[in-house]
Amino acid sequence: MLAKVKSTGLFGMDGYIVDVEVDISNGLPAFDIVGLPDTAVKESKDRVRSAIRNSGLEFPMRRITVNLAPADTKKEGPAYDLAIATGILIATEQLSQAFTKDHVFLGELSLDGSVKPVHGVLPMLLSLDGIAGTAILPLANAPEANNVGKLKIIPVKSLSEMLAIFRGEIFPGLCEEISQNDKTYIDHEDFSDVKGQDKVKRALEIAAAGGHNALMIGPPGSGKTMLAKRMPSILPELTHNEAVEITKIYSASGLLQPGSGLVKMRPFRSPHHTISNAALVGGGKFPKPGEVSLAHHGVLFLDELPEFRRDVLEVLRQPLEDGSINISRANGKVFFPAKFTLIASMNPCQCGFFSDSSRQCTCTPLQITRYLSKISGPLLDRIDIQVEASAVPFEKLSGARTHETSEQIRERVNKTRNIQLKRYSELKIFCNAQLSPKDIERYCQIDAQQKQLLKSAFQSLGLSARAYDRILKVARTIADIEESENIASYHLAEAIQYRSMDKYRKGTVFA
């Protein structure tokens, strides 16, 4: 007898329907799975056989052929176990085909028949628009799956429980009750812990308010890493759509904990400097999201920026400019979202003390130039804010002065973001950092005196055309923080000051 049930697969961030066809015929006992299965899918036959028998059901000692269509697409992972087992039960008339109409099945089976959670449930179910009305999946995946529109979710703990639900012996559990137990990530550290570095705090507040990238340059121990780790605490709260996008990425990557619903906190990713290209931007035989996508709507922190391989840093150009990553493979193209705030830190030289007045630098001008040249000009042009973090004096470290909390800073950031949301309501952008060159001409207008100020900065620092746009965007954000409708000269002057690396590249620091 032939049975057909539906399941789903995942390629990158896109789900697709998989038709699981099960045929049971006479002949020597055999169990074959076709349709380009990987090792995990091939091993499904052993899990399914034991799960059916240990659930008190009959496993046919006949020739079983399972086809996973489309047959020309590689299938991976154990998510097809439940669909294959259901197909066998239908083919052996232990379950009616009518019960499974408009149903999709997802889940890994244990040998005792229990249903275990799988990765990528949210993006896979989002691909079922109008194709299936009900999803049968593991109980641990229910909070995640409950965020999918009109799709009815029936969570099950075991194969026997699924059969009892179809036969009307028990009533299915309610996802609404399960979704209330969403797990969230722990809160971030607070800016009030940081003593001194008022200039850097101001720069990070501007970065958060306008969605700008930032680079901190300073000697070791000046608090660069400490400040960066607190950056998520002043970013605006996630909207529901942003939370769904982040959850999709973490689900596809296998980083969403079982029993978790939506990700509620903005991500903070801090990869080691030995990271590879594929790990940073995504890729692999079965393309998976990289660190830039895992930092979507959050912060990507690159500590000791010059220590990263140059070819690794250069692949950041596209996501910094476009907010996405496109990866091409022989069997198709994959799109990963990557709208993140880049926060980077670095020393001004190899020994780290070039800008420290209390300690002597042992590097020659040539060594400093070689060290700084590890970061290319095009990459630096894409970093809006470049601020120096000087060593914190003992008086500030030992002082008892009360510092602003992250909540206080976030209030100003939220107010500034609301101004931008209102201004750009007709555009598909949400902050100043996303302004196009055409939008800059409209929203970042400056007068003749300000143009002369900007011209002087260009001549002295040797700025590029991209740096021109970045300065205007930052100046627009500074004006928004002060609730000013127009950009003032001192807004522009402050924005120009946040181009610290340009003077190093120009060589004025050696004069």
Question: 229-242 pLDDT, tens per residue?
Answer: 999 999 998 888 89
Q: Measured between alpha carbons, how far is residue 501 from residues 47, 174, 342, 460, 470 in Å? A: 58, 57, 16, 13, 14
Given this model, what pLDDT does residue 104 score? 93
Q: Rounded CA gap, 383 and 231, in Å?
A: 16
Contact yes or no for 380/213 (Cβ under 8 A):
no
User: Does residue 99 or residue 421 have the better pLDDT?
Assistant: 421
Share of the chain above pLDDT 70, in %: 92
**pLDDT band (50, 70, 90) for residue 511:** very low
Beta carbons within 8 Å of 215's beta carbon, 6+ residues apart: 305, 343, 344, 345, 346, 380, 383, 385, 386, 387, 500, 501
pLDDT at 369 over 90: no
Q: Which range has the worst mean pLDDT, 256-260, 327-331, 393-397?
A: 393-397
Task: Kindly list the domain boundaries of the chain, sorted by start residue.
Answer: 2-181, 191-510
Given this model, what pLDDT does residue 457 score? 86
**pLDDT band (50, 70, 90) for residue 57:** very high
CATH code, 2-181? 3.30.230.10
Packing angle of the helix pair 465-481, 489-497 (nearest 10 deg)? 120
Task: List phi, psi (to 5°) of 495.
Answer: -65, -40
**pLDDT band (50, 70, 90) for residue 226:** very high
Q: What is the mean pLDDT of residues 475-491?
A: 95
User: Does residue 378 or residue 420 have the better pLDDT?
Assistant: 420
CATH class of this structure's domain 191-510:
alpha beta
pLDDT at 181 over 60: no
**pLDDT band (50, 70, 90) for residue 505:** low
Q: What is the mean pLDDT of residues 470-475?
A: 94
Question: 255-286 pLDDT, tens per residue?
Answer: 988 778 888 889 999 999 999 999 999 887 77
- Measuring CA to CA, which residue among 196, 228, 199 is closest to residue 401? 196
Given this model, what pLDDT does residue 463 score? 79
Given this model, what pLDDT does residue 402 score? 67
Q: Rounded CA gap, 119 and 253, in Å?
A: 7
pLDDT at 179 over 70: no
pLDDT at 377 over 90: no
Given this model, what pLDDT does residue 508 score? 46
Within 216-301, where are the H helices? 224-229, 240-253, 277-281, 291-294
Exposure string (b/e) for 365-384, b if CB count within 10 Å is 16 or more?
Answer: eeebeebbeebeeebbbbbb
Question: 39-52 pLDDT, tens per residue?
Answer: 999 999 999 999 99
- Measuring CA to CA, which residue among 311, 342, 325 is closest to residue 283? 325
Given this model, what pLDDT does residue 146 score? 87
Contact yes or no for 315/276 (Cβ under 8 A):
no
Contact yes or no for 147/105 (Cβ under 8 A):
no
The token pair that represents 37 in the structure block: 């299965």
Given this model, what pLDDT does residue 489 score? 93
Q: Rounded CA gap, 70 and 59, in Å?
A: 26
pLDDT at 415 over 70: yes
Given this model, what pLDDT does residue 173 score? 64
Question: 125-146 pLDDT, tens per residue?
Answer: 988 766 668 899 999 999 999 8
Within 111-260, where are the H helices? 121-125, 142-145, 159-166, 175-178, 198-210, 224-229, 240-253
pLDDT at 174 over 80: no
**pLDDT band (50, 70, 90) for residue 178:** very low
**pLDDT band (50, 70, 90) for residue 184:** very low
In 110-199, DSSP assigns E strands to 115-116, 134-138, 152-156
Mean pLDDT in the chain? 88
pLDDT at 296 over 60: yes
Q: Rounded CA gap, 412 and 432, in Å?
A: 15
**pLDDT band (50, 70, 90) for residue 185:** very low
pLDDT at 154 over 70: yes
DSSP 180: G
pLDDT at 172 over 80: no
